[in-house]
């Protein structure tokens, strides 16, 4: 099963003409989408040590900040959000041939900073967070009918949005009920906010579970990421901020308080956090190009995983 | 997010309650005149800040002195048009008969009456003495009723000449506009020439005439004569006369400006977004008409050093566009080059201009396109983006060739994201800063914009580069409660405190010459190419230089300057000096790096493991790159220079030694200068060392947790169900323990062994059925269930869903009745584990493992996943039509396609019916026996592998070499 190949790095010349703002591999890790200030999105086929530019998607009128791949059960869909206030959803209708399935042009008054497909269990939905202080939820109804809802977050702007994974919450009293979708946002007011979809179809802030004030960010929250969840009602969210800290928020039980744990204070602002697919491993990018990977120990403390030579023996005890 | 308004360096203490609309600086740039709602304010700009010298209500002038005799000559009304665009006009459109209080001052402009070449350049070095400035400059103010009043500025200064302190006597009333005057433009070099642009759709050119003028025809001589007279402070009576009227369109004109280089050229923008360029002598035909903006074009500005470059701002489409109108403005004839290309040339001869004008219609159609092209490409324009340059060039050659008046595409489009109220090019820096410093100002614009449309909202002022069309380089937001009505650049002298540290190259030419020679194409300023270094260093008393100009004049002239302060007036009634250096850098808000975590696909090295990939790009950031990026400098040299304002520096800024890091700086480099690269940090090649850790040959690669790394290996090697060899579940556990041991996962191996030993000790081969309350017969049975439960939960919390599912499957925790055999462990929880594990497997393309798990799982919900999202459509391989269900009673097998009546299910190679496994190509739909397919495609029996479908349909079924 193992493929013997030399370890090393694959360098992809992105061919973008300006800064690249996001890069995402698709569900299977075969395809890479990058987006840039040059207003384009580029799709690469990545295989072994080679890569190949598959398509260049245009249409945005400003820098494209983020892209998100959908679950493959909806087909090859890619959502992108841009400075121009638009969210586009692209579909590859046949290899290398992309078309726009949905164009939500200027749904926001300001830059759209983050876009994320919902877990596929919730249907085909996209959340987009904007500097105009709102989060928009674009959902696909039947027959390619797209609806748009807004969540009023904070007036200063929202930087990031992340969906709760399906199965994050479990209500014993309501075992047959459909699951409530939730999301978390991180904004320029230095706060995170938890939102849930009420039965009435309205989004409201999750007022049942408090967010602890003991430890909080003192600058813009740059990114939030809800960890994959294996034990219902025990949830974890990572948030990073320009105050150079990464906080891990845990909630032990439904409607319990979210408690923060300081992962680390970095030397420079922290831009992105990302969980591994199994959770419990967190990658953090700070400063210019520093990516570090952190892992939770058995006792709940977090340690940075480093290169092999300075790795103590504690590592393979997981 | 720091202290608000840190960018405000100075502000006028007297804050007006009414909005301020316009500001204009005196020729020496030491005084400013501000147009308030009903007044003019004279402001002194000094190192101590802003000081209001005088507040003068001028509505009386605007209102009372309307000679009725000229009323007949006013142009025909364009009532309907004006009404159409009335909304977009910031001022209240007024009627002639308005009451006193309703007349608002719309704008003010200050001009020199002295005619010198120095003053032609915007960075005038020779500061006229205060007295000279009082006498030799002139102020015009326009009202919303269309009246323009002109004063000599001396009458404004307290104790100055002219009228009394209370009532400066106006020199003239210009009242031929029937509606509000939106903009005034003094000629930059020829004194006494004033352009007014009005809401009434006309622009008028006014000339200041001596009332006893004898040689009215000869313009050039006369103006010289004026200047001389003015210098001698001869108090003359002047008459103002409208000498030309321009009616470009039947719509209001928003802004008007003279060209900085061609004496006769001016440009205006209209309320419908047109940019129109005129020669002042050719009133009937515009040199260029460009549909510049969608909707209102609010402002324009000629490039300070490039003669044909105009920037326009749109308040409706939120864009600033930069136009190269060389093809439209220049004449085709050779002698056209004589016309006013050089700054300060006053040799414009009317007849020559008119000659050229006659040929306008003939040449601008055929010559314009090539000219534009060469102007774009030949200079290697450093400030043009590669793509926009190409696109504009290409489009121009193709699009405008056949059009009558060429309408060039804009060179640059800046997306401001708010209504643009005013734009001003950044003046070029006056000289070289240092031997390693170069002027990077050319392509930068200051753009004032209003957060909300023309009315309220905060006024934002941004410094924009044409290279970065979506993001301002620096933003100041001192005007919090109102849009910026007008602004001007203020220079920041730069004091070189370390002249000895670099070998001085003495410049043979005086600075002025090199500057005046910088008139050129859209190309780097001449200051960039030379090693022109300061002749003398400034060591003198910093503060005194500005005002003691008689003594320090030489030094001042040599003092390099940089433009990074802006004096602005806003609708909030404030007048501020803001430092762009202290402004926010939106660039710093952009994460320089991006990365993601992903699982490797089966096509990649280190398959099954996690990998981190990130983008490496050179992002200019921080203090050391700020100068490169913005041309703004913040250091001890500028902050403590003989500047206009002293700024306190933070320690951080003091620490930064800016002499470092600039050596490699090349002018015009765009950041990032290299295209970004994406780097996959492949973690390991799947190899393990003796201790079970991944062998990592790349020191920078990131080590990944073994459980993720080995997920795919465990998935393929774990045995979850009894078979002929391993009949007992205990054996399964021991087998899996061996696998974990081989992969050096001792803790997992111990876990499997302990489960096995517990099972053995309990004497069971499976967990007792749920709900059965048989009393445990031994101690192992007693502890078995709780132990397994806590074990599962512990693994789940550690994120090891694989182990959870494996244990559940081996022990058959879920029975067929959708119950768990372990009390307290909910079926829904287990289902989550299964689902996420299946999802993981599929993500790693381990489809067979996930399908096997789905098939064997006792939980019907999981088992039903086989049917989920799986729809099989059958179609005939011959005709491609869907296979219709058989209508024959009892017939379930479809042997013949109903559409083409051909048998279905025949092998494509041997043409026999396929009864066993049928394989087919997903592309063309043809298929047959597996053996036949392998024989054809797989290169059996030393035949070469084929690629084309055996049916002859031409489809290339086999595009990858089949693995043997």
For Cα atoms B614, B620, B622, give the angle at the middle one, nearest 5 degrees. 110
Kindly report the backbone phi and psi dihedral angles of residue B789, in degrees, each rounded to the nearest multiple of 5, phi listed first. Answer: -65, -50
pLDDT band, residue A112 (cuts 50/70/90)? very high
Q: Does B621 touch chain A (CB under 8 A)?
A: yes
Mind listing the pLDDT tens digit for each residue in B712-769?
Answer: 677 777 888 888 887 888 888 888 888 888 777 778 888 888 888 888 887 777 777 6
Q: Does B263 touch chain A (CB under 8 A)?
A: no
Closest-approach residue (CA) in chain A for B703:
A307
Give the C-alpha distances (Å, rounded to integers) separating B751 from A318, B282, B717, B733, B795.
12, 95, 17, 9, 10
The least confident of A90-99, B81-90, B740-749 is B81-90
Interface of A with B in 101-120 (CB under 8 A): 110-111
Task: Check whether A296 has a pLDDT greater than 50.
Answer: yes
Q: How many CB atoms lie within 10 A of CB B249?
A: 17
Residue A89 confidence (pLDDT): 94
Contact flag A316-B599 (C-beta cutoff 8 Å): no
Closest-approach residue (CA) in chain B for A121:
B835
CB under 8 Å to A65, separation ≥6 — which residues? A21, A22, A35, A81, A82, A83, A111, A112, A113, A114, A115
End-to-end CA distance of chain B: 63
Burial B284-301 (b: 16+ CB within 10 A, else e): eebbbbbebbebbbbbbb
Give the C-alpha distances (Å, rounded to integers) separating B262 from A202, A211, B520, B817.
63, 66, 12, 92
List B141's β-bridge partners, or say none. B108, B149
Mind listing the pLDDT tens digit for each residue in B803-842?
Answer: 888 888 888 888 777 777 787 777 878 888 888 888 878 7
Contact flag A222-B591 (C-beta cutoff 8 Å): yes
Structure-block tokens of residue B742: 């081989």
Mind listing the pLDDT tens digit for each residue in B347-392?
Answer: 333 333 333 434 333 333 333 333 333 333 333 333 333 333 333 3
Q: Does B387 touch chain A (CB under 8 A)?
A: yes
Residue B341 confidence (pLDDT): 40
CB under 8 Å to B79, separation ≥6 — which residues? none
Task: Check whether A145 has a pLDDT greater than 90.
Answer: no
Mind listing the pLDDT tens digit for each residue in B912-942?
Answer: 888 778 888 877 778 888 888 888 877 666 6
Judge contact between B363 and B331, C-beta under 8 A: yes
The least confident of A164-168, B322-326, B670-674, B892-896 is B670-674
Kindly report the backbone phi and psi dihedral angles of residue A257, in degrees, each rounded to the nearest multiple of 5, phi listed first. Answer: -75, 140
Give the C-alpha distances (Å, rounded to integers) separating B481 from B3, B316, B446, B487.
17, 20, 19, 16
Query: Domain-by-domain residue ranges, chain B?
Result: 706-867, 918-963
Residue B484 confidence (pLDDT): 84
pLDDT band, residue B771 (cuts 50/70/90)? low
Task: Check whether B397 has a pLDDT greater than 80.
Answer: no
What is the DSSP annotation of A235-274?
EEEEEEETTSEEEEEEEESTTPPBEEEEEEE-SS-EEEEE
Task: Check whether A141 has a pLDDT greater than 50.
Answer: yes
The least confident of A135-139, B567-571, B902-906 is B902-906
Give the C-alpha distances (Å, rounded to integers) separating B514 from B502, B799, B944.
21, 70, 76
Structure-block tokens of residue A43: 């799709």
- The alpha helices in B149-279, defined as continuous H runs, are 219-231
Residue B146 confidence (pLDDT): 83
Q: Does A13 touch chain B (CB under 8 A)?
A: yes
The least confident of B33-47, B508-522, B613-627, B835-849 is B508-522
Average pLDDT value over all residues in chain A: 81
Provide mean pLDDT across the span B41-56. Answer: 80
Contact flag A219-B1 (C-beta cutoff 8 Å): yes
Residue B943 confidence (pLDDT): 67
Residue A199 confidence (pLDDT): 80
Residue B128 confidence (pLDDT): 47
Interface of A with B in 269-298 (CB under 8 A): 271-272, 274-281, 283, 285, 287-293, 295, 298
The dihedral built from the CA positions of residue B552, B553, B554 and B558, taken in this order, carries a sign that is: positive
Task: Check whether B650 has a pLDDT greater than 80.
Answer: no
Q: Does B678 touch chain A (CB under 8 A)?
A: yes
CB-based burial label for B885 (10 Å; 0-12, 13-18, 19+): exposed
CA dihedral of B218, B220, B225, B228, whole degrees rounded to 10: 180
Best of B691, B799, B847 to disrupt the A interface by mutation (most A CBs within 10 Å)? B799
Residue B797 confidence (pLDDT): 77
Residues of A with Cβ-Cβ distance to B471 under 8 angstroms: 37, 63
List A117's β-bridge partners, or say none. A126
Contact flag B619-A279 (C-beta cutoff 8 Å): no
Mind listing the pLDDT tens digit for each residue in A250-279?
Answer: 888 888 889 898 988 988 888 888 887 777
Is the model more confident about A250 or about B676? A250
Q: How does DSSP classify residue B948?
A: B
Burial A243-258 (b: 16+ CB within 10 A, else e): bbbbbbbbbeebeebb
Residue A116 confidence (pLDDT): 94
Task: Check whether A185 has a pLDDT greater than 90.
Answer: yes
Q: Does B727 touch chain A (CB under 8 A)?
A: no
Task: Check whether B238 has a pLDDT greater than 80.
Answer: no
Residue B378 confidence (pLDDT): 33
Interface of A with B in 189-218 (CB under 8 A): none
Interface of A with B in 215-234 (CB under 8 A): 219-220, 222, 228-232, 234
Give the C-alpha distances (Å, rounded to integers) separating B837 from A123, A277, B794.
20, 10, 16
Nearest by CB to A25, from B471, B596, B675: name it. B596
Highest mean pLDDT, choosing among B343-352, B417-426, B875-884: B417-426
Is the model more confident about B214 or about B502? B214
Provide mean pLDDT across the span A45-74. Answer: 84
Closest-approach residue (CA) in chain A for B841:
A28
Residue B716 confidence (pLDDT): 72
Residue B616 confidence (pLDDT): 63
Burial A84-109 (b: 16+ CB within 10 A, else e): bbbbbbbbbeeeeebeebbebeebbe
Highest mean pLDDT, choosing among A34-43, A294-303, B4-13, B165-174: A34-43
Task: Check whether B68 has a pLDDT greater than 70.
Answer: no
Instruction: Report the gap between the CA of B280 and the closest CA in chain A (Å).
Output: 38
Q: Does A63 touch chain B (CB under 8 A)?
A: yes
Structure-block tokens of residue B819: 């119950």
Q: Does B796 touch chain A (CB under 8 A)?
A: yes
Average pLDDT value over all residues in chain B: 65
Task: Check whether B546 has a pLDDT greater than 70.
Answer: no
Highest mean pLDDT, choosing among A177-181, B268-272, B313-317: B268-272
Structure-block tokens of residue B843: 């993500």
Contact flag B605-A291 (C-beta cutoff 8 Å): no
State how far the Cα of A165 lies from the Cα of A180, in Å rounded to an integer: 10
State how far the Cα of B115 lies from the Cα of B513, in Å rounded to an integer: 18
Task: Check whether B296 has a pLDDT greater than 90.
Answer: no
State how far the Cα of A106 lies from the Cα of B27, in Å rounded to an integer: 45
What is the DSSP annotation of B206-229?
EEEEETT-S--S-HHHHHHHHHHH
Residues of A with Cβ-Cβ distance to B457 under 8 angstroms: none
Closest-approach residue (CA) in chain B for A270:
B591
Kindly report the backbone phi and psi dihedral angles of residue A203, in degrees, each rounded to the nearest multiple of 5, phi listed first. Answer: -85, 135
Give the C-alpha distances (Å, rounded to integers) separating B792 from A231, A313, B785, B811, B824.
11, 25, 11, 12, 12
Radius of gyration of chain A (CA): 19
Closest-approach residue (CA) in chain B for A286:
B593
Best of B416, B595, B792 to disrupt the A interface by mutation (most A CBs within 10 Å)? B595
The least confident of A174-188, A242-256, B177-191, B769-783 is B769-783
Structure-block tokens of residue B629: 């990026």
Task: Check whether B241 has a pLDDT greater than 60.
Answer: yes
Structure-block tokens of residue B244: 């030309």
State how far the Cα of B784 lies from the Cα of B821, in Å rounded to an integer: 11
Instruction: Report the gap between the CA of A201 and the closest CA in chain B (Å).
Output: 25
Residues of B with Cβ-Cβ distance to A172 under 8 angstroms: 826
Residue A221 confidence (pLDDT): 92
pLDDT band, residue A138 (cuts 50/70/90)? very high
Contact flag B693-A308 (C-beta cutoff 8 Å): yes
Contact flag B705-A170 (C-beta cutoff 8 Å): no
Residue B355 confidence (pLDDT): 39
Give the C-alpha distances (Å, rounded to integers) separating B697 from A9, A82, B57, B707, B743.
11, 39, 80, 20, 20
Structure-block tokens of residue A108: 């926001």
CA dihedral of B254, B260, B264, B266, whole degrees rounded to 10: -10
Task: Check whether A305 has a pLDDT greater than 80.
Answer: no
Residue B561 confidence (pLDDT): 62
Residue B382 confidence (pLDDT): 35
Residue B599 confidence (pLDDT): 56
Residue A125 confidence (pLDDT): 92
The least confident of B64-73, B338-347, B801-810 is B338-347
Residues of B with Cβ-Cβ distance to A219 under 8 angstroms: 1
Q: Does B389 touch chain A (CB under 8 A)?
A: no
3-state secondary structure of A120: helix
Mind listing the pLDDT tens digit for each residue in B306-340?
Answer: 788 888 988 888 888 888 888 777 754 333 444 43
Nearest by CB to B601, from A30, A63, A288: name it. A30
Interface of B with A in 832-891 (CB under 8 A): 832-833, 835-836, 840, 843-845, 869
Mind listing the pLDDT tens digit for each residue in B934-961?
Answer: 888 776 666 677 777 888 777 777 655 4
């Amino acid at each position: 099963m193992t493929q013997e190949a030399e370890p090393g790095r694959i360098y992809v010349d992105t061919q973008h003409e300006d800064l690249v703002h996001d890069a995402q591999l698709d569900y299977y890790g075969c395809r890479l989408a990058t987006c840039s200030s040059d207003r384009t999105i580029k799709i690469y086929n990545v295989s072994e040590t080679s890569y190949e530019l598959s398509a260049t998607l245009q249409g945005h009128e400003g820098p494209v900040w983020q892209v998100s791949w959908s679950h493959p059960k909806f087909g090859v869909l890619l959502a992108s959000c841009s400075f121009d206030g638009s969210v586009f959803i692209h579909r590859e209708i046949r290899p290398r041939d992309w078309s726009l399935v949905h164009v939500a042009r200027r749904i926001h008054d300001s830059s759209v900073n983050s876009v994320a497909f919902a877990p596929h269990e919730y249907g085909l939905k996209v959340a987009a967070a904007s500097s105009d202080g709102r989060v928009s939820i674009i959902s696909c109804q039947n027959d390619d009918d797209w609806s748009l809802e807004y969540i009023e977050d904070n007036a200063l702007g929202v930087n990031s949005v992340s969906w709760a994974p399906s199965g994050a919450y479990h209500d014993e009293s309501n075992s047959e009920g459909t699951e409530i979708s939730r999301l978390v946002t991180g904004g320029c007011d230095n706060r995170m906010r938890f939102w849930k979809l009420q039965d009435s179809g309205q989004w409201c802030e999750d007022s049942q579970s408090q967010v602890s004030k003991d430890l909080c960010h003192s600058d813009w929250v740059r990114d939030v990421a809800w960890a994959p969840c294996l034990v219902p009602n025990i949830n974890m969210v990572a948030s990073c901020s320009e105050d150079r800290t990464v906080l891990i928020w845990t909630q032990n039980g439904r409607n319990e308080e979210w408690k923060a744990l300081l992962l680390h204070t970095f030397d420079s602002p922290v831009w992105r956090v990302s969980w591994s697919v199994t959770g419990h491993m967190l990658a953090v990018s700070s400063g210019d190009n520093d990516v570090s990977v952190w892992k939770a120990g058995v006792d709940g403390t977090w340690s940075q995983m480093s290169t092999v030579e300075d790795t103590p023996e504690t590592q393979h005890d997981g | 997010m720091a202290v608000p308004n840190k960018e405000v360096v100075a502000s006028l203490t007297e804050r007006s309650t009414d909005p301020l609309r316009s500001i204009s600086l005196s020729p020496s740039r030491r005084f400013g005149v501000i147009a308030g709602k009903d007044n003019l304010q004279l402001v002194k700009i000094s190192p101590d800040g802003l000081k209001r010298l005088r507040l003068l209500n001028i509505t009386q002038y605007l209102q009372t002195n309307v000679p009725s005799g000229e009323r007949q000559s006013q142009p025909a009304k364009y009532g309907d048009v004006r009404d159409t665009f009335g909304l977009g006009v910031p001022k209240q459109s007024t009627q002639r008969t308005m009451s006193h209080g309703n007349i608002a001052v719309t704008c003010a402009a200050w001009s020199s009456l002295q005619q010198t070449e120095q003053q032609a350049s915007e960075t005038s070095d020779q500061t006229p003495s205060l007295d000279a400035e009082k006498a030799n400059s002139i102020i015009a103010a326009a009202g919303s009723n269309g009246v323009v009043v002109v004063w000599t500025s001396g009458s404004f200064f307290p104790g100055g000449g002219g009228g009394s302190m209370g009532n400066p006597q106006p020199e003239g009333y210009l009242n031929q506009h029937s509606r509000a005057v939106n903009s005034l433009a003094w000629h930059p070099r020829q004194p006494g020439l004033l352009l007014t642009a009005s809401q009434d759709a006309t622009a008028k050119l006014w000339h200041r005439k001596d009332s006893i003028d004898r040689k009215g025809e000869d313009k050039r001589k006369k103006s010289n004569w004026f200047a001389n007279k003015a210098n001698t402070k001869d108090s003359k009576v002047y008459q103002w006369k409208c000498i030309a009227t321009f009616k470009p369109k039947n719509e209001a004109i928003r802004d008007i400006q003279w060209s900085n280089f061609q004496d006769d050229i001016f440009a205006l923008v209209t309320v419908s977004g047109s940019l129109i360029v005129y020669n002042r002598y050719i009133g009937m035909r515009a040199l260029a008409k460009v549909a510049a903006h969608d909707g209102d074009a609010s402002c324009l500005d000629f490039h300070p050093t490039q003669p044909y470059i105009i920037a326009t701002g749109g308040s409706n489409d939120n864009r600033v566009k930069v136009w190269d109108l060389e093809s439209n403005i220049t004449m085709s004839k050779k002698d056209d080059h004589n016309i006013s290309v050089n700054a300060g040339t006053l040799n414009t001869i009317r007849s020559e201009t008119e000659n050229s004008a006659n040929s306008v219609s003939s040449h601008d159609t055929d010559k314009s396109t090539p000219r534009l092209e060469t102007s774009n490409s030949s200079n290697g324009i450093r400030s043009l983006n590669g793509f926009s340059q190409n696109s504009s060039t290409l489009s121009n050659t193709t699009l405008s060739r056949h059009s009558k008046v060429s309408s060039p595409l804009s060179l640059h489009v800046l997306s401001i994201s708010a209504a643009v109220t005013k734009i001003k090019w950044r003046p070029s820096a006056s000289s070289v800063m240092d031997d390693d410093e170069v002027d990077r100002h050319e392509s930068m614009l200051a753009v004032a914009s209003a957060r909300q449309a023309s009315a309220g909202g905060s006024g934002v002022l941004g410094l924009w580069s044409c290279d970065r069309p979506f993001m301002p380089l620096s933003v100041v937001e001192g005007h919090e409660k109102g849009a910026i009505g007008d602004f001007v650049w203020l220079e920041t002298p730069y004091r070189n405190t370390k002249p000895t540290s670099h070998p001085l190259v003495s410049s043979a030419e005086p600075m002025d010459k090199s500057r005046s020679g910088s008139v050129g194409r859209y190309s780097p300023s001449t200051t960039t190419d030379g090693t022109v270094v300061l002749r003398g260093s400034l060591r003198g008393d910093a503060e005194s230089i500005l005002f003691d100009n008689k003594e320090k004049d030489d030094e001042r002239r040599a003092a390099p300057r940089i433009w990074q302060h802006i004096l602005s007036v806003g609708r909030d009634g404030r007048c501020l000096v803001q430092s762009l250096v202290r402004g926010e850098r939106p660039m710093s808000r952009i994460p320089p790096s991006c990365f993601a975590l992903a699982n490797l696909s089966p096509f990649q090295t280190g398959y099954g493991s996690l990998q981190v990939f990130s983008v490496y790009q050179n992002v200019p950031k921080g203090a050391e790159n700020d100068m490169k990026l913005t041309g703004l400098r913040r250091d001890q040299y500028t902050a403590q220079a003989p500047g206009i304002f002293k700024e306190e520096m933070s320690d951080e800024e003091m620490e930064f030694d800016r002499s470092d890091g600039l050596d490699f700086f090349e002018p015009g480099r765009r950041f990032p200068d290299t295209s970004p690269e994406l780097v996959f940090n492949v973690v390991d090649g799947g190899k393990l060392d003796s201790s079970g850790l991944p062998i990592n040959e790349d020191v920078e690669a990131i080590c990944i947790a073994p459980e993720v790394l080995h997920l795919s290996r465990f998935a393929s090697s774990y045995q979850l169900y009894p078979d002929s060899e391993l009949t007992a579940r205990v054996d399964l556990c021991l087998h899996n323990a061996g696998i974990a041991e081989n992969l050096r996962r001792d803790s997992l191996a111990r876990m499997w062994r302990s489960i096995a030993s517990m099972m053995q000790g309990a004497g069971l081969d499976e967990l007792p059925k749920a709900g059965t309350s048989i009393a445990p017969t031994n101690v192992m049975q007693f502890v078995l269930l709780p132990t397994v439960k806590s074990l599962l939960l512990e693994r789940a919390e550690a994120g090891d869903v694989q182990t959870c599912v494996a244990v559940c499957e081996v022990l058959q925790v879920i029975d067929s009745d959708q119950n768990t055999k372990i009390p307290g462990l909910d079926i829904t929880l287990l289902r989550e584990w299964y689902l996420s594990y299946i999802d993981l497997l599929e993500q790693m393309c381990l489809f067979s493992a996930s399908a096997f798990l789905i098939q064997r799982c006792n939980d019907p919900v999981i088992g039903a996943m086989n049917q989920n999202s799986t729809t099989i459509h059958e179609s005939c391989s011959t005709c491609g039509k869907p296979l219709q269900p058989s209508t024959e009673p009892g017939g379930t097998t479809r042997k013949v396609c109903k559409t083409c009546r051909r048998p279905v299910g025949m092998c494509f190679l041997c043409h026999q019916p396929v009864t066993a496994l049928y394989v087919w190509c997903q592309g063309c739909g043809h298929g047959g026996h597996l053996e036949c397919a392998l024989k054809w495609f797989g290169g059996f029996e030393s035949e070469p592998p084929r690629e084309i479908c055996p049916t002859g349909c031409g489809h290339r079924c086999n595009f990858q070499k089949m693995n043997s």
